[in-house]
Each structure stands twice: as C-alpha cells, then as structure tokens.
A and B are shown apart, each in its own frame.
Chain A
Amino acid sequence: MAKEIDPITLQVIGGALHAIAEQMGNVLYRMSYSSIIRESQDLGAGLFDLDYNTLCESDSTPMHIGSIPGYLHGIEKNIPKTDWKPGDVVIHNHPYYGASHSPDIGIVMPIFYHGELVGFSANTAHHLDIGAATPGLIIDVPDVFAEGMLLNGLKLYEAGKRNETLWRYISGNTRVPGLVMRDLEAQIAAAELGVKLYCELMDTYGRDTVEQASKQLMDYSEHMLRREIAKIPDGDYTAEGFMDDDGRTRDVRLPIKVTVRVRGDDVEVDLTGSSPQVPTAFNVPFEGSTKVACYFAFRALLLDTYTNQEYIPQNEGSFRPVKVTAPLGSIFNPIPPAACEARFNQIQRVVDLIIKALAPVLPDKCTAGNAACLSFASYSGVRETGDYWVLIEVNEAAMGGRPNSDGPDTIEELMRNTRNNPLEDLGMHLPMICDRYEIRDDVFPGAGKYRGGMGVVKSQRFLTPGFMTHESDRNEDAPWGIFGGQDGIPARVRIHNAARAEEPRDVYAKFSGMRAELGDVVSYLSPCGGGFGNPLERDPAKVLDDLLDEFITPEHALEVYGVVLAPVSNGYKWGLDLPATEALRATMRAA
C-alpha cells in the first residue's frame, strides 16, 4: 500500500471526489421525471470502497447521505463480492437488508479497474409508487409485504445486458410506470457516470494513490468530528418526547427516549425506553434510517457547515465515532415482517431529542425545539383514460430559536431538505388546485430572545374524486422552548369542502387511503418552533418588526415581550416607546 500522501495531493483528490458525487447527483435529479426526485431532490449518490465505506456523497437530502452503505451490506447477503461482473446493475430496496425504506430504491454498479473490482458507484432515490396497498404512501398496513415490490439485491443488468423480465415485472407493478421506469433510467445513468469518473481519477493519479488518499480523507473527517465530541463533558444526557399514535390505534401515545453517552471522543445514542414496534408501517428500519439519523445529528451539531468555514469531506469518517443502539423489537429496530415504510417523523424526533439532550452542554450550538416532523402527503386518482395520477408532496415546517438568531420560518429542517413543487406547475398537470400557501396566522411563534420559526399553512383542493394518504405527526407534543423561551405550537390537519357550508373539521395527523370527494380541501398547518431564551431579552426592534410583519399583535408584544408601543403616523401605525418598555420589562423581571 502507498505511503502517506502529501497534503497537496490529498486536497486535489478530495476535491475531485466531491466533484464526482455532485455530478452524479446532478444527472440524477435533472434527468428524472417524478416531482419527488426532480423538484424535491429526494435522492443521494456517491462512491464506495470494497468495504462499503462512503468515499464521497452528493450534497442532496441528508436522509440519503449515509444510508447507502446499508444497502451494500444488504446486497452482499445475496451477491458476494466474487459474483460481480463489469456492467452489472443491481436494484435493491429491502428494508430488512439495509435499505432506508422500501420506496427509496438503490441502484448499484460495481467499479472494475483493469479487470479488478475496486469499489461501487451507487445512488438511491425516492420512487413515487412501488405498488403498495395504497397509492404513493402507506401507514396502516399489516406487514412489510404490503409495502409493494420488495427487490432484494436483484441484477437488473447482468454484464451490461438488461434483464427484460425483471424490467417488465417492475413496470407492471407500479401505478405510474411512465415515471418510475424513467427515474430508474436516470439512476442508472448517474451510476454509470460514477463508474467512468472514478476510473478516470485512477488513471490520473494511480489506484494506490487514490485509495490511500481516500483513507486519509476518511481519517481527516473522523478526526474533525472526534475533536468536537471530546470537548463535550463525559456523561449521560437524556431527553424524552412522544409521537401522536401509530396511525391505527388512535390516541395511544408512543414514547421516544434518547440517551446520549459521551465518553472521551466516542459517543453512543441509545434509544432504549422508546416504544416497542407497532403493528402499522410506523416503524423505522435500523440500518438504513435509525443509524443515519444519529450520524446526521452529530455532523449538524458539531461540524455545522454555516459556522465552520472549511469543507469537511462527506465520507465514512464522520460516521465512525457514533455508535447507535436500539433494542430489537422496538420502533427503531423492528423485527420482520413488521412494516416500516413510514419512518420519517420518528427519526426527525430522534435528532431533535439528541439536540435537546445535549443543549445544556452545547448552549452555543443547539436549538430550541424544532418542528422535527414531516408532512408527507400523497394525492392520487384515476384519470378518464384509466391511468393513475399520483403526487407526493412534502410540506415544510419550522425550526426552534437559536443561540444567535430566530428559528427559520417555513423551512425544511433536520433530516429533510427537499424543494417544494411550484403551484403553477402542478396546476397545469393535475386535477388539484392550491387554495392557500402562506405562513400560519392562527397562532403566535414560540416566544423567546430568539423566537421560534413560524410554520406553514397549505390547502389543496381536489378537482375530481381521489385518494389521499397523509404521513405526519406532532399534532400533540409541542416543540419545546429552551433557556426561558416559550413552547412552540403543534401541527393541525383540517378538512372541509368548498361546496358545502360547513366548518373545517380537525383530523388525525396520519390517515391512509382516504377517499376524497370533489371539492374536498385538505389543510395542513405545520408546527411552529419553540423560543430560545427569555422573551424579555428580545431586542425591542425585533419585536416591532414581528408586529409590523403581523407575526404578533400589540397585545402579545406587551404581555409576552414587555414591549410598549406608541402610535406613529408614517403609515405603519406602530413605533416603539423605549423608556416605557424598559420600565415595564424591569417590573416584569421583578415579578
């Protein structure tokens, strides 16, 4: 093996690996058809060595980053390394063989260099429909077999030749073959590009140098994370919350408990004490999702790319210091054949609880309670031609207040980072129309020195009868305030029909295969983040801004923030009365 690579070559190869992953991700999302991939960028792509270590990965959606090694380990159970041939393409989505969840289909190609297997080029993407019990998304199903096609390490191409039988099988078992098959082609194109570019990199620098540089880059990323972990005092840090229900047994809360054990520069996340596995799809695949969430939490907390100037390579090194434990048979490590497709809300909460647990020792890096959920809405129907239309939409939420800034409003937070669908684009193609897409105005943001972010309200109207499944949570457990900040607001889901004079009715966060009538309007109101720090310390100018921007009322400014307003005649109605504010705040602090 080559000796230690000089720091200059190391930077050069590190840059090249990063560029390869970005190009793979670009091809995948630009070529693809379904809005969940092309607009939302719900995908990941990268290169992996023979031990399935991540060498580089595209900067797309955090949920996918770090999940692909699980796929590779799972595939090995059916395809040992000796069985790979140049030109093979393997398709895989089995959640009990390392997949993140069944709709996230992985495409893997081996990389041969001068006839020898040297690594893998792989990507994952969320597919619109894999023939599950209900179109698009599922909640209330009995087992993993009801999730749709389970593709367990199958060769879609063998030595460059497509397996037409398998291709037709997949095409015949999705409700939207026109989108799914084209998206698969985009995935294959991205994987082929990775193979080509990795070989070119080896041509340029030599195989030994590339492999040695990869090892050193992983060590570097690991070192950077360990250094930050070591700064946290050793100890056990715990936080708890709960989920609304499992989507079938209503109003039975599911506890989530996170214990973070810091020992030197190692850290363990132990989920013992969380709910046992549930009888619906509301379980979390351990390898492909539970672990990935924990890896994410420490990168985001300790190697924040906004506060750290240096780019730290996205590779295996940042996973190594983090150990994840979840008892077998729990919601975070289910036993087959439990279904486990609807897992995003739970892992969002794991990340948020890791932040909460560590907040007392990381006051400058944490946040107040984030929405930490996901509204995943699947709308569908059958056109007059008999073809299905399916739309999966991700609704954003908000973040909690932060040490130096307010929580962002209406944003993709934590493990998710998709893009919304332009309303005008959807309106041109689907029998649905959006009636409202705004910041929530029925509640106030979580008050604090830095306030929580405001959530979204989105109302979609069916223009024909159809079906809808909603995977969501957090209608009950409000995001917490921290260091004197007030709690945020939980979510709400409401349905009404535009044609009937009736009040909107509140419904549960999760529902499966609901039959929608013409004119039904489904409104999602996302949670709002908790406040950070004492509201009486909030800069009065920011309180005035929030008032003028109609996030709060004059009464709220007075009662919660101790800010006294004075009428002005410049068209904005209100200005600050600073002396009165100082006096009021002094009284309120004393009380």
Chain B
Amino acid sequence: MIRVGVDVGGTFTDLVLEQVDTGGRRRVFTHKVSSTIGDQSVGVVRGVVELCAIADVQPGQIDALFHGTTVATNIVIERNGAEVGMITTKGFRDILHMGRHKRPHNFSLQFDVPWQSAPLIKRRNRIVVDERILPPDGRIETRLAEDQVEQAAELFAERGLEAVVIGFLFSFLNNDHELRAAEIVRRVMPGAFICASSEVVNTIREYERFSTAAMNAYIGPRTKRYLDNLKARLREAGVNAYVRIMQSNGGVSTIEQASRNPVGLLLSGPAGGVIGGRWTGEACDQRDIITIDIGGTSADISVIRDGALTIKNPRDTEVAHLPVLVPMIDIDAIGAGGGSIAYVDSGGAFRVGPKSAGAEPGPACYGKGGTQPTVTDAQVVLGRLDPEHFLGGGLAIDPALSEQAIRTHLAEPLGMSVKEAALGVLKIINNNMSLAIASNSVARGIDPRNYSLMAFGGAGPLHGVALGQMIAAKNVISPLHPGITAAMGLLVTEPRYEFTQSSLAILQSAGKAELEAVNAVFDRLQAEAAAQLAADGIPPDRQRFERVAECRYVGQGFELRVAVPHGPFTAGSAQEMARRFFAVHRTEYGHAFEDQAVQMVTLRVIGSSSSDTLALPLLEKGGRRNPSEAALYARPTTFDDGETVQTARFDRMKLRAQDVVVGPAVIVQQNSTTIVPPGYAATVIKLGDLVIARVGQEG
C-alpha cells in the first residue's frame, strides 16, 4: 500500500509518501518542490515523480493520492473566475450587489466595496423572472414563469456564459421552482456549470445563500478544469491511484464531488495543517491543542478541543469579504509571518506587518533586493537562524544585510540598539499573534493553560516557546516535520460530506408534528449522505453519521452548533438539545438563560468514514540529556530576555526518543529551527516530535 499526500502552498509544494509493505513495515519519505503558479498540477506531478524516485517505487504503484490545493481560493482572490449568469426572483435583482449593506470601513470615505467593484455576477447577467414562494410555509403565491427562464438561458448562451446560478427567495422552504428552473437551463445550456442555491446550501438568509451559490459557480468551471488536468497529467505520468481532495470541513472528497461542489474547497490548503496538528497531538498524547501555522506572510490559527476540530459558526464563514455558508474548520488567518515587514510609521510608532516581503524580494538577508527589515531578519540578527541551515543550506543568507536593514529602518530612527530593535520586532509580532490566539481561545471560554500550543510551518518553532509563554499554554509542541505538517495531515483525513436543511422548531415545546418533521429531514439528509459515501465505494458498515443542529434563542440572530443525540428525535432528545445549547452558549458568551425558548434553525447530517492512518516509524530510545552525539557546534544567540549566550546546536535527525535537550539550545533540521530558551527543556516523543516546557514541568 502506497499513499501520497501533496500540499500546494504559495511558494512550495510539499509531499509525503508512505509505504506499508506486506509485512506491515512502514517507510515514510518527504519531498519539497517549487509550486507552479500557472497550473499547480505541473508541480504536483513533478513532485510525485521525483518523490517516487527518492522512495524507489514506480508511480504506478501508488494506491492513493491525497491533495490539498489553493486553486479555488486563488480564483476568488485574483478574481479570474467564470462569467456567471443568475436567474432570480422578480423584485430582488440586486441582493448580491447590496450584500448586508454594511460598508467594510467605519472611518473612511474612499473605501472599496468588493461585492460591488468586483462582483461574482455582474448586474447585466442577473435576470429576474416571475415566481414567488411565501413564508412561513413555502406556499406558492406566483407560479414560475418557465418561458422567462428559457429566454434568460438563451440570452446567457448567446453571451457565452460558462455558469448559471438559480437563486429564488424562500427556496429553503420550497425549492420546486429552483429545481425546475435549473432543469430548463441545463437543457438550454448543456455544457454549462449550473447550480440552484438550495442545492449548494439549503439554508435561510438570502444574501448568504445566493453568495455561496454564486461563489460555487464562479470558481466551478476553472476548478473543474484544474482537477481534470490533474487527473490527466497523473495518468500520463503513470499514476493510476484514486485521488481525494481536501475540503474546508476537514474531510476529503472525490474529484467528481469536488468538481460539482468546489465551494467546499476554499480552505483546502490550510485544512491539512490543522488535521496534521491533531494527528501530531495524538502522537504526543495531547487532545487539547492550539495550532499555529506560521508561513512567510500569514499565520493560521485553529483550536482542537478534546481531539475534535473546531468548525466555524456558519454565520462567520467568509472568503475575501464574501459570505460562504459551507462548513469550514475554524481557521483564523492573520497577516503575520517570517516575511512581515517592520517599520516606523510617520507618527513615530513601531509597526510590524501586515505588509510582507513575501518570497520575492523576501527578507533583506536573502540579498534579492529587499532592503526593509523583516521578522526573519530579526531572527538572523539575534543569532537564531544559522546561514548554513537556512532551507537546509539551499539558500544563501547574509546576516550583514539583516543588520543593516534593522539599523537603518528601526534602530536609528527609534534611538535604540540593533539588538533592542530586533527583540522589539519579535515582541510586537509575537504579541499580534498571541492576541489573535487569545481571541480564538480565551474569548471563547477556552483556557490555554490546559492546551498545548503546536507551532509549525517553516517559521513556527522559532516562535513557539515565546507564544506559549505569552498565552500561558501548558506546553509547546514542535512537530517532527514542521515544514510539511499539512502534507502529513492529508494522509490522515477521512471522507466527509455534509448535507443541510433549514427547518425551524422550538426545542422545549416541539409537538408530535414538529418532531416528525425533524425526523423526516434527518432521514432524508442521512440518505443523501449515505448515497454519497456509497458512491465513493464505502460499504454501509464503514459509514458513520453525525447530526448537528444550529440553534439559537428565539429572537437571536446568531446560531450555535449543538450535537444531536443518536436515535429517533423525540421530545426527550429535544430537551437534551436545549441543555446542550445552554452549555455551548455559556462557553461562547459566558451566560445562558435557562428559562428561554431555544429554536433549531438548520439541521445538518455529516457522513464520514474512518480511513487509514499514517504511522511514522518509532524512534530508537535514547533517554539521554543534551546528547553529545547530536550536538553540532555552539554560537552566541540572543533570547527574549535580551541575554546573549553561547548556545549549542543540536541535529534534530540524530535525536532519539526520550532524549531531553535543556535550553539554552537551538535544534536544527532541514527547513526549520526550534528555539529552546534558557529555563526550558525539549523532550523527544516516540516519533520525534518535541514537547517543550519549563524545566521541572516536562511531560
């Protein structure tokens, strides 16, 4: 059995290959190639072929390939998706143009309104037709004018549109009109990408539902072309493996399903990192983890509670300022990374980020024309990044350039030493990151003192201990391969499909008819999920179903996710749900009103199946303290307290299980460096992950 994970990032494509031979012996290989921006699949296939050579296997031997991609997200950010048409209810042509009518800036007159200046669907291609469904029961007030739908479709065909969305008001109550209209458009435009809003996400709130459907159609044709290309290139390279694509909800899906519902791929890239974080946590016996994936321009933060991913409240899911109501892992991205630029603003304030030097020109030390000091330059000046180990020595860096940039742009204007300025850069960037972690944890009732902070991405382990200290985390984990945690995560994912339907009911007073209606909706959603899993070749005995209801107090506008008890939905389960809702509300907001009526708004069934997991080889037991066999050399290194001490370097690949490295120490490996400050000790766990804690509090 050979499985490959491929994670495509902005700069690098990371790969990992796992081979399990008939004797159960496992081998794991990793590789990194440059991403190919024009067509990511070129880099993917090149990486796969090269990795096969490294592992000494044939491409044809690969059984499964798991892929995380930023293709869908990039289409949205670069706004180079399809020309899309929309057929909508008469009187409501401009729902997508008005949005929620709130402007993105309070104190601005010159602001941009992205949904107006770069709309997913232009007004000229939004055509209204006669039809009217009425609340609260979904009865038809005006029948669908099918001739108008047909005329609109013919016009779209004449205009050469590639995709069409049908979005009618109140379709979450009754989608007969939407489905009928979609059928007509499919007949007129057989080659086009067509979706009805209720097919993409069957939930209340017209702007958010239409926006989600519009996004799906906007990225649909290009995403499908990419996935088709990928399939073809893999075949040409001799790879016959089945291919699974990472989705935003933390599960994988087939190419066919991903092509049909590409809106589920918008967090395909960062999701793998969180999954990899959870899996590393398990290896370290930690189930409560805050992950932070620190790259060049941004840091992605997520929380894993008792081994479970945090799924974002569907009211908060946005991509590029546009609402997308699909289940997503709660990942908060902030503009802070190794390339973040430090500067003194015109009012004399010391700033770091969000502007980034990116990969080009990159930090000053790259010598590629960047003159402004970055976070990486601060690390270099403080002696924390050794030139010979930077990107495995593959990239020459010049510490003199870092020092010059910091002196010119920070130290001199602020009247401080270069060392003070460099420490300041790190303190400010770490503070920005720790505030973001706090707003994703403490602000939601999560006490970081019970959590491990897992810092990965190339730059993660440089910041890990400082961040762990600032948020008072229990300990800090540096995964064995910090730079390819996301690719590893791909190999431990499972298929996961979600189906939703809005169905309003009061929990405490639900009568027989309402309970029956809820059961009917759950049964139907579960049947849909089962059909999808079966289509993926998963037999019924391996199918798993989880039910979630989004609930709120009657009158509130924001729902919280509540797990639904197993079995038929009875008055008893409704009461239990109310109790669970109070608990979630208390965690989220600090208060709960137990005498108030709770309403279910949207029901959701998640179908999944357990899959193979990735097993890294166990390390040989060392049990040593600062093992001399792993020691490389020592250099002056400055820590956050401002002290500069001669600090030993250790080769991470020579560390063994239960070895302890006591700080001050720097642990180096290809692509990543872990800092162990004075007073801290890093313990090597069975697979090679490091758990770092204050001396005396290890384990």
Binding site for B on A (CB under 8 A): 6-8, 10-12, 15-16, 19, 22-23, 26-27, 30-35, 38-39, 41, 59-62, 65, 178-179, 182, 185, 189, 192-193, 220, 223-224, 227, 296, 299-301, 303-307, 309-310, 312, 355, 365-367, 396, 399, 402-405, 408-413, 417-420, 422-425, 427-428, 433, 435-439, 456, 459, 548-551, 570-572
Contacts and interface: CB of A to CB of B under 8 A. Distances in A.
B349 A304 contact: no
Given A227-B347, A355-B109, A419-B100, A438 B591 contact: no
17 contacts: A7-B349, A11-B351, A15-B431, A16-B435, A33-B555, A179-B555, A223-B347, A304-B105, A305-B106, A412-B103, A419-B101, A424-B172, A428-B136, A436-B92, A438-B93, A551-B123, A570-B160
A442 B107 CA distance: 31
Given A31-B591, A35-B557, A306 B349 contact: no
A305 B439 contact: no
B345 interface: yes
B435 A30 contact: no
A485 to B, nearest CB: 15
B355 interface: yes
Interface stretch (B110-118, B519-527, B662-670): B110-118
B57 interface: no
A417 B106 contact: yes
Nearest 5 CB-CB pairings of A with B:
A571-B158, A571-B159, A427-B135, A38-B557, A549-B123
B103 A409 contact: no
Interface stretch (B200-208, B248-256, B570-578): B200-208
Contact of A433 (B134, B206, B438): B134
A22 B428 CA distance: 19
A178 B97 contact: no
Contacts of A419: 100-102
Given A8-B427, A182-B555, A571-B159, A408 B123 contact: no
Contacts of A182: 553, 555, 593, 596
Given A61-B106, A192-B590, A413-B103, 10 more contacts: A11-B431, A23-B443, A31-B589, A32-B556, A182-B555, A193-B590, A365-B110, A420-B101, A438-B92, A571-B155
Interface in B82-128: 91-95, 97-98, 100-103, 105-113, 116-117, 122-124
B432 interface: yes
Contacts of B98: 396, 409-410, 420, 437, 439, 456
**Residue of A10, A402, A417 ringed by the most chain B CB atoms within 10 A:** A417
B584 interface: no
B514 to A, nearest CB: 14
A206 to B, nearest CB: 16
Contacts of A399: 109
Interface in B556-591: 556-558, 588-591
A309 B206 contact: no
Contacts of B95: 437
Contacts of B351: 11, 310
- Which of A7, A408, A420, A425 has the most B CB atoms < 10 Å from its CB? A7
B112 A306 contact: yes
A306 B110 contact: yes
Contact of B100 (A38, A192, A310, A420): A420
Chain B, interface size category, equals 35 or more
Given A65-B106, A193-B590, A422-B206, A428 B135 contact: yes
B226 interface: no
Contacts of A310: 345-347, 349, 351
A8 B116 CA distance: 39
Contacts of B557: 35, 38-39, 425
A60 B590 CA distance: 21
Nearest to B316: A30
A178 B556 CA distance: 11
Nearest to A399: B109
A403 B438 CA distance: 40
A422 B204 contact: yes
Interface of B: 91-95, 97-98, 100-103, 105-113, 116-117, 122-124, 134-136, 155, 158-160, 169-170, 172, 204-208, 345-351, 355, 414, 423-424, 427-428, 431-432, 435, 438-439, 443, 504, 553, 555-558, 588-591, 593, 596
A572 B159 contact: yes
B504 A300 contact: no
A408 B346 CA distance: 30
Contacts of A178: 555
B443 A299 contact: no
Nearest to A31: B589
Contacts of B424: 6-8
Contacts of B116: 408-409
Nearest to A420: B101
Contacts of A365: 109-110
Nearest to A410: B98
Nearest to A200: B442
A437 B89 CA distance: 11
Nearest to A301: B109
A491 B96 CA distance: 23
B106 A548 contact: no
B105 A305 contact: yes
Contacts of B110: 304, 306-307, 365, 402-405
Nearest to B104: A306
Given A193-B590, A405-B112, A437-B98, A10 B122 contact: no
A89 B424 CA distance: 40
A189 B590 contact: yes
Nearest to B352: A11
Contacts of B172: 424
A300 B109 contact: yes
Given A10-B349, A411-B103, A436 B428 contact: no
A425 B452 CA distance: 40
A425 B111 contact: no
A548 B124 contact: yes
A435 to B, nearest CB: 6
B134 A402 contact: no
Contacts of B107: 62, 296, 299-300, 303-305
A26 B91 CA distance: 34
Given A417-B106, A428-B204, A15 B435 contact: yes
B347 A19 contact: no
Given A11-B428, A438-B91, A408 B109 contact: no
Given A8-B424, A179-B555, A418 B102 contact: yes
A437 B91 contact: yes
B136 A550 contact: no
A94 to B, nearest CB: 26
Given A33-B553, A305-B106, A185 B94 contact: no
A392 to B, nearest CB: 14
B204 A396 contact: no
A299 B435 CA distance: 26
A501 to B, nearest CB: 18
Contact of B101 (A307, A367, A396, A425): A396
A11 B350 contact: yes
Contact of B109 (A19, A402, A418, A428): A402
A458 B443 CA distance: 38
A405 B103 CA distance: 15
A411 B97 CA distance: 10
A62 B158 CA distance: 47
A437 B92 contact: yes
A427 B102 contact: no
Nearest to B106: A62
Given A7-B350, A422-B206, A550-B123, A439 B109 contact: no
A16 to B, nearest CB: 7
A439 B428 contact: no
Contact of B169 (A41, A220, A424): A424
Given A437-B92, A439-B97, A424 B206 contact: yes
Nearest to B208: A422
A30 B588 CA distance: 10
